[in-house]
Amino acid sequence: MISNFVRSFSRSLTTRNELVHVQKHFEGVEPEKRDRESFLAAVAQFKEKRGRTHVEFINTALKYMKDYGVHKDLETYKTLLDIFPKGKMIPQTAFQKIFLHYPMQQNCCVKVLDEMEWHGVQPDKEIHDIVVNAFGEWNFATKKVKRMLYWMPKLKHSNKYLDRRHVEGKSLSPSELAGIALKMMSRDPAAAISLLKLPEDAWMVTSQSLSQQKLIEDLKTGDEIFVDRSTVYVQDNKIDYIILSGPPKLPPLEEFKKEEMDENYENWFEDWKKRRTEARRSIHEQDFEIIYALGALYKNDNTTAFRWIENLQKTNKNLETLRIRLRLDGNSKFNAI
């Protein structure tokens, strides 16, 4: 009994020392030198020793993947999953197949696959083979990777407002990302995206359609509209944009409108004429505001927004007669046009 206790205690100390060594190896690298090569070097060093703490090493490595910039690299995930020993964890008996065989190892593998799914890294056949060689054909970890292989290609282009091929694997400038963001949010097919380049790498992007220009023309002299700031994400890229909006002109739509049908169809022509003469609202006329334009600026402050309004006046002459409140800075102010 005493010898078994001493053996287990010494084993726990060895495991703890190895974990401290692994964590120091990741933390000891200077931030400017943290890249894919240094991360894979740490994995290769662990593979040479082939310690019994592969679960702890993988869990530790997952915490540093974003710091080393490898959280979207498929080959790095393959290298991590390849750490699991092959063959010995495959269930052999019916009892082992029913229950979770080697639970810590399988849960660790699922964590790696969850990290891939969270960052949009799609597995391939090699990832599937690595997991199968470690845990068997039908197990909890293997079922996870099979579901990912089935669903992720289907859901990759499920967002009909964003084509991921325009973003993934490309180094885009802030103005290009802003144009993609405005195109993603502009539900009107007639919306035009325009880019205005200014000196010293300054830029302004605008999204506006003809129906929005018509809504501005219908405003009366002295009406008040607002410029506010909001945020949208294009995958992992945070984009700040501005909204030119005003109070609604029409009452909110009834969510559940009861329609009465004439069973004799005697008044169908009168009903048809009535619907044609009813006020039809565009997609820009929401229940709580009207969206007149969207924009993105190189610098989000009232001064830059004022320049954006001046450029917008070239196609919207009625803006000169309106009261525009800029609310990008802490203090809101009217324009002095």
Taking Cα atoms as reference points, which of 164, 128, 168 lies closest to residue 149? 128
Residues 212, 298 within the same domain? yes
Cβ pair 13, 6 in contact under 8 A: no
Whole-number Å distance between alpha carbons of 110 and 44: 22
The 8-class DSSP code of residue 89 comes to T
- Name the domain boundary from 156, 190, 206: 156
How would you classify residue 207: left for phi > 0, otherwise alpha for psi between -120 and 50, otherwise beta? beta
Query: Rounded mean pLDDT of 196-222?
Result: 92
Angle ∠(225,226,230) on CA atoms, nearest 5: 145
Residues 190, 293 within the same domain? yes
Helix runs in the chain, H state only: 2-27, 36-49, 54-63, 74-81, 94-98, 103-118, 125-135, 140-155, 174-185, 210-217, 268-277, 302-312
Residues 208, 321 within the same domain? yes
Tens-place pLDDT, residues 103-149 = 888 999 999 999 999 888 889 999 999 999 989 888 889 999 999 99
Q: Which residue has the tokens 């009107």?
A: 188
What φ, ψ does residue 165 adopt, rounded to 5°? -65, -20
Lowest mean pLDDT of 27-36, 211-220, 279-288, name the range. 27-36
Instruction: Give how far the C-alpha of residue 120 lies from the chain's centroid of Cα atoms, to the nearest Å.
Output: 9
Residues 152, 192 within the same domain? no
What is the residue range of 286's domain? 170-251+267-336
Is 256 domain-assigned? Answer: no
Residues 278, 138 within the same domain? no
The 8-class DSSP code of residue 254 comes to P
Query: How many Cα atoms within 13 Å fall on the side-chain side of residue 175?
Result: 13
pTM: 0.68
Is 195 domain-assigned? Answer: yes
Whole-number Å distance between alpha carbons of 91 and 70: 32
Residues 140, 201 within the same domain? no
Question: What are the beta bridge partners of residue 202?
Answer: 198
Q: pLDDT confidence of 3, banded at 50, 70, 90?
A: very low
Is 110 domain-assigned? Answer: yes
Residues 192, 278 within the same domain? yes
Over pLDDT 70: what percentage of the chain? 81
Lowest mean pLDDT of 159-163, 195-199, 244-248, name the range. 159-163
Residues 194, 328 within the same domain? yes
| Two tokens, residue 82 | 């390849």
Whether the CA torsion 325, 329, 331, 335 is positive or negative: it is negative
Per DSSP (E only), the strands in the chain are 192-198, 202-208, 224-234, 237-246, 290-297, 323-326, 333-334
Cβ pair 64, 40 in contact under 8 A: no
Taking Cα atoms as reference points, which of 294, 317, 318, 283 lies closest to residue 227? 294
Question: What are the beta bridge partners of residue 206?
Answer: 194, 295
Distances (CA, A) of 2 to 5, 8, 9, 12, 129: 5, 10, 10, 15, 43
Residues 134, 242 within the same domain? no
Residues 200, 60 within the same domain? no
Tens-place pLDDT, residues 258-315 = 556 556 666 667 776 666 655 577 888 888 899 999 999 999 999 999 999 999 999 9
More confident residue, 336 or 45: 45
Strand order from edge to edge, sheet including 323-326: 192-198, 202-208, 290-297, 237-246, 224-234, 323-326, 333-334
Question: What are the beta bridge partners of residue 240?
Answer: 231
In this prediction, residue 226 carries a pLDDT of 95
Whole-number Å distance between alpha carbons of 254 and 244: 25
User: Which residue type occupies 296?
Assistant: A
Residues 125, 179 within the same domain? no
Cβ pair 250, 281 in contact under 8 A: yes
Cβ pair 73, 127 in contact under 8 A: no
In this prediction, residue 42 carries a pLDDT of 83
